[in-house]
Amino acid sequence: MAQITAALVKELRETSGAGMMDCKKALNETDGDIQAAQDWLRQKGLASAAKKAGRVAAEGLVAVSTGENSAAVIEVNSETDFVAKNDQFQTYVKNTAGVAIEVADFDALKAAKYPGSEKSCEETLTELVGTIGENMNMRRMEKLSVSNGVVASYIHNATGEGLGKIGVLVALESTGDKDKLNGLGKQIAMHIAATNPLSLDRNSVNPEDVERERTVLIEQAKEAGKPEEIAIKMVEGRMRKFYEENCLLEQAFVIDPDTTVGKAAEALGKELGTDITVTGYVRFELGEGIEKKEDDFAAEVAAAAGA
């Protein structure tokens, strides 16, 4: 029997798009013959993933999973919303989110064993591509943890338990009552889903974003004919508004617009007799940042009719 080297497995994986373990099995089954191994993979429905890998996958699902003192959010993409409603796809996303809470980062998640299988989460998705018939990919994962307190979660436009279009995590560090912390955490997570803040607080705003905003405001004031020293004073007031609109802790709380998110946390802290610190948040919106192809259906039909 031919020796199945790592280089041979790598070559087959690159040409077929199938998972590493599937490629190794195919080569074993075909005595190391690359062409025969490709045919074997096609017969098993595993090589079709390669042909689909170039197609834009901007639909799919965001999923959250929570544990004792941590939570994770993932995004898994598909080409169509139809597949996002597929039971097999939903089960995969939910199970993978459950794995995410047990691992350190995204690379570890891709390599981790899928529940009930010897294959990794990434290999299982490749196999699912061949089964369902369209491109899918694991796009990203984030995880938040606290020493004391809770990591609350919220799913917007839910299509199932823990599955939807927008997923939010928010970490509250505190020794207070966890039920009440979870209640506030979920409200803040809903707020984050609605407002999509730029950062947690002023200190965490990207300095380049601050400088760009300040420069634009100064130029606007100069264009209005204001002297530079007056323009600079005007800009300071406008920058305060910028922070109030974009920093989570300074934003007007959507649950109670008369207070801010930060003040709401302080108020509950006083009620519970302990400090509450919002230490971080994550917001995943399905497909954000993916360039989607806009199809002109009428032109497509006209072209087909002309042909």
Contact, 166 vs 100, CB < 8 A?
no
Q: Do residues 120 and 255 share a domain?
A: yes
Residues of the domain holding 10: 6-52
Residue 228's alpha-carbon distances to 217, 225, 236, 240, 242, in angstroms, are 12, 9, 13, 19, 20
The mean pLDDT value for 93-105 works out to 97
pLDDT at 271: 97
pLDDT at 307: 45
Q: Do residues 122 and 169 share a domain?
A: yes
Residue 145 included in any domain: yes
The mean pLDDT value for 267-295 works out to 89
Neighbours of 250 (CB within 10 A): 21
Residue 303 included in any domain: no
Q: Do residues 102 and 24 share a domain?
A: no
Q: Do residues 138 and 183 share a domain?
A: yes
Q: Do residues 197 and 226 share a domain?
A: no
For residue 237, what is the domain's CATH number?
1.10.286.20
Task: Specify the higher pLDDT residue, 264 or 234.
Answer: 264
Residue 36 included in any domain: yes
Q: Do residues 24 and 114 share a domain?
A: no
Q: Do residues 226 and 277 share a domain?
A: no
pLDDT at 123: 94
Residue 181 reports pLDDT greater than 50 = yes
pLDDT tens string 31-69: 888 888 887 776 666 655 555 555 656 799 999 999 989
What b/e string do you get for 147-157 counting C-beta neighbours within 10 Å, with b at 16 or more? eebbbbbbbbe
pLDDT at 297: 47
Total structural domains within the chain: 3
Query: Any idea of the CA torsion for 164, 75, 54, 134, to the nearest 10 degrees?
Result: -40
Instruction: Quickly state the pLDDT bin for 135 (edges 50, 70, 90).
Output: confident
Name the average pLDDT for the chain: 88
The mean pLDDT value for 270-277 works out to 97
pLDDT at 170: 98
Residue 226 reports pLDDT greater than 90 = no
Neighbours of 225 (CB within 10 A): 8
> 75 is written with which tokens?
């995004």
The mean pLDDT value for 292-298 works out to 54
Residue 130 reports pLDDT greater than 70 = yes
Residue 197 included in any domain: yes
pLDDT at 44: 67
Residue 209 reports pLDDT greater than 60 = yes
Rounded-to-integer distance, Cα 258 and Cα 93, Å:
39
Q: Do residues 175 and 75 share a domain?
A: yes
Q: Which of 19-33, 90-104, 186-200, 283-297 has the lowest mean pLDDT?
A: 283-297
What letter represents residue 54's amino acid? G
Q: End-to-end alpha-carbon separation of the chain, Å?
A: 52
Instruction: Quickly state the pLDDT bin for 196 (edges 50, 70, 90).
Output: very high
Residue 88 included in any domain: yes
Instruction: Quickly state the pLDDT bin for 216 (edges 50, 70, 90).
Output: confident
Q: Which of 33-42, 265-274, 293-302 has the lowest mean pLDDT?
A: 293-302
Could you tell me the pTM of the whole model?
0.76
Contact, 152 vs 170, CB < 8 A?
yes
Residue 1 included in any domain: no
Q: Do residues 210 and 281 share a domain?
A: no
Rounded-to-integer distance, Cα 60 and Cα 81, Å:
6
Rounded-to-integer distance, Cα 133 and Cα 272, Å:
53
Residue 214 reports pLDDT greater than 90 = no
Q: Do residues 189 and 263 share a domain?
A: yes
Q: Do residues 134 and 175 share a domain?
A: yes
Residue 255 included in any domain: yes
Residue 147 reports pLDDT greater than 90 = yes
The mean pLDDT value for 129-143 works out to 90
Residue 106 reports pLDDT greater than 70 = yes
Residue 272 included in any domain: yes
The H-or-E segment that residue 60 falls in is strand 59-66
Q: Do residues 73 and 106 share a domain?
A: yes
For residue 11, what is the domain's CATH number?
1.10.8.10
Contact, 165 vs 82, CB < 8 A?
no
